[in-house]
Amino acid sequence: MKQIVGVADMKVSSNIDDSIITYSLGSCIGLVIYDSVAKVGGVLHYMLPESSIDKEKAAGRPYMFADSGIPRLFKTAYNLGAAKQRMKVYVAGGAEILDQAGFFNIGKRNYMALKKIFFKNNVMIGKQDVGGNTNRTVRLEIGTGDIYVKTSGSKEVKI
Amino acid sequence: MTSLQTLMKEIKNLKPIPAVTNQLLAVVDNPDSSMEDIANVIQYDPAITASVLKICNAAYFGLRNPAESIKDAVNMLGTDQVIELVLLKSGAKALCGKQEGYGLENGDMWRYSVSSAVIAKQLASTFSLKNKNTIFTSALIKDIGKTILESRVSDSAEKIRGLVQNKGQSFREAEKKILGIDHAELGAIIAKTWNFSPRMIKIIRNHHLADEKMIKDKEVAIVYLSDCICMMMGQGVGSDGLSYRFKASAMKELGVSANDVSMIIAEFATNMKDVEELLQIV
């Protein structure tokens, strides 16, 4: 079944018939994790780096932010039997508008927030398709762990 | 290069924005207008009146006395909401199709345009600008030029992509260089043909701030900022992606910080359900 991850949303599944997809990432990040032994995987679509800008929103919509969404993605997958050492990690998105420098570069800040959390927790990124000026859609097949990425106007490719 | 004459012919073939849009905009942003003035303008367009009543009665499903007039709808939904519905409905036909030259599937441009209009209106309120409905409509239809330019963009896709990927040009700059006109300029010509106000034509022409002097104009800067925010959020973005120029000077001019931009994004995402409802008006 197709599971759609909306904006500021997350889906985790252990159903081998599931395909988890998130559309149109822009500067947002699509984080995909997958454990091939447990056949558990998930996708998080977060929009902003830090929940400190609005604690109240973060409480209601934790998947909106990197720091409140990423730990929840991993924990939910662990609850379904996934193990950290087996986890394959893929990152997509974090695009930027031309000349979008400094603090205004939300795409880059989204990616840096993820790197910081991964560094602290010893998580390695397997593959990534990050930055640039393209809009991406990402899909994960739970049965196989295959990940596909599509940029607007082009065909979907398996990574 | 595309001759202006050929483009003008195609503009004439576009489904025009209903006349009620211009009449309504002339009334709503005038502080002296009453609710009756507004209702009087809307009810002259039976198709739009019918769809506003339909939405109103669906929102209040099971009413003993369903809305039968625009006045009823205004009483139930509030003036602001009814105006928004009418403006959206008038833009829907022109914007809801697919634009293959820009890699936009059915509904993509519509989603992008509505999101951008909602954010622009919210910003207009934050800055206490009195023309918030004009700003809303300008943001809604600012990409109308794409509906005509898309076949040419498709024919010259490789050349345009080459300039964007290898020469550091923005998508708009590449359109201008290869096709002789960009979608913002063409949008302004369409807006003029449809008798939109000079203010709206100016906003549409400058929504990518090709002329940097325009950052001094708050209405232009707000629609520009709402466009940047929508690009970042990615919803309904096509193959031109985020290949437009970000002008930090416009943020400075508006007094908007990076934190403010994040807050606007967070707020929009929190209210996404309301936007999903607006999208259904097609």
**Cα separation of B4 and B8, whole Å?**
6
pLDDT above 60 for A17: yes
A108–B contact, CB cutoff 8 A = no
Q: Which fold has domain B96-282?
A: Hypothetical protein af1432 (1.10.3210)
- Amino acid occupying residue B215: I
Contacts of B128 (CB under 8 A, 6+ apart): none
> How confident is the model over B211-248, as pLDDT tens digits?
999 999 999 999 999 999 999 999 999 999 999 999 99
User: Would you state the pLDDT for residue B18?
Assistant: 83
Give the residue among B273, B277, B236 at the shortest CA–CA distance from B88: B277
With 60 as the cut, is the pLDDT of residue B111 above it? Answer: yes
Q: Is the pLDDT of residue A2 over 80?
A: yes
Scan for tokens 């022109």, then name that residue. Answer: B94
Q: What is the pLDDT of residue B13?
A: 86
Q: Please, what's the b/e burial string for B231-253 (b: 16 or more CB within 10 A of its CB; e: otherwise)?
A: bbbbbbbbbbbbbbbbbeebbee
Whole-number average pLDDT of chain A:
96
* Segment 1-60 of chain B within 8 Å of chain A by CB: none
Nearest residue to B262 via CA among A22, A49, A23: A49
> Is A133 an interface residue toward B (CB < 8 Å)?
yes
Using an 8 Å CB-CB cutoff, list chain B residues near A48. Answer: 262, 265-266
Say if B274 is an interface residue toward chain A (CB within 8 Å).
no
Query: Looking at the predicted structure, is the pLDDT value of residue A48 above 90?
Result: yes
Cβ within 8 Å of residue A6, ≥6 positions away: A22, A45, B272
Secondary element (H or E) of residue B275: helix B272-279
Residue pairs spanning A and B at CB distance below 8 A: 119
CA angle B270, B239, B94 (to 5 degrees): 70
Q: Do B235 and A47 touch (CB under 8 A)?
A: no
Q: Residue B150: what pLDDT? A: 94
Closest-CA distance, A36 to chain B, in angstroms, reads 30
Query: With bands split at pLDDT 50, 70 and 90, how would you rate the model's confidence at B1?
Result: low
If one compares B26 and A82, the residue with the highest pLDDT of the two is: A82
CA distance B129 to chain A (A): 24
State the pLDDT at residue B76: 87
Cβ A60–B270 below 8 Å, yes or no?
Answer: yes
Of the ranges A88-97, A117-126, B6-15, which one carries the lowest mean pLDDT score? B6-15
pLDDT digits (tens, 9 = 90+) for B166-204: 999 999 999 999 999 999 999 999 999 998 999 999 999
**Quick check: helix, strand or coil at residue B55?**
helix
pLDDT (0 to 100) of residue B126: 92
Statement: residue B261 has pLDDT above 80: yes
Please indicate whether, in this complex, the C-beta atoms of B234 and A25 are within 8 angstroms of each other.
yes
Ordered by start, the domain boundaries in chain B are 19-95, 96-282
**Gap between the Cα atoms of B203 and B142, Å rounded:** 8
Please confirm, yes or no, whether A28 is among the known catalytic residues: yes
Chain A residues within 8 A of B269 when measuring between CB atoms: 7-8, 47, 61, 64
* Spacing of C-alpha A140 from chain mean position: 11
Phi/psi at B43 (5° precision)? -70, -5
pLDDT (tens digit per residue) in B30-43: 888 888 889 989 98
Task: State the DSSP code for A62.
Answer: G
| Closest to B134 in 3D by CA, of B218, B25, B17, B34 | B25
Question: What is the predicted pLDDT for the residue at B5?
Answer: 87
Q: What is the pLDDT of residues B40-98, one digit of tens each?
A: 899 888 889 998 898 888 877 666 778 889 998 988 888 888 999 999 988 888 898 99
Listed by start position, the domains of chain A span: 2-154
Are B235 and A95 an interchain contact pair (Cβ–Cβ within 8 Å)? Answer: no
Give residue B236's pLDDT: 94
**Token representation of residue B230:** 């929508």
- How is the beta sheet containing A136-141 ordered, strand by strand? A2-5, A19-22, A136-141, A147-151, A157-158
CA distance A158 to chain B (A): 19
pTM (predicted TM-score) = 0.94
Task: From chain A, pick out residues whose CB is under 8 angstroms from the CB of B257.
Answer: 103
- Does the structure show a pLDDT above 60 at B255? yes
Give the tokens for residue A89: 């990690």
Fold of A2-154: 60s Ribosomal Protein L30; Chain: A; (3.30.1330)
The two structure tokens encoding residue B272: 């996404």
Beta carbons within 10 angstroms of residue B280's beta carbon? 9
Give the total residue count for chain A: 159
Write out chain A residues lying below 8 Å of B247, CB-based.
Answer: 99
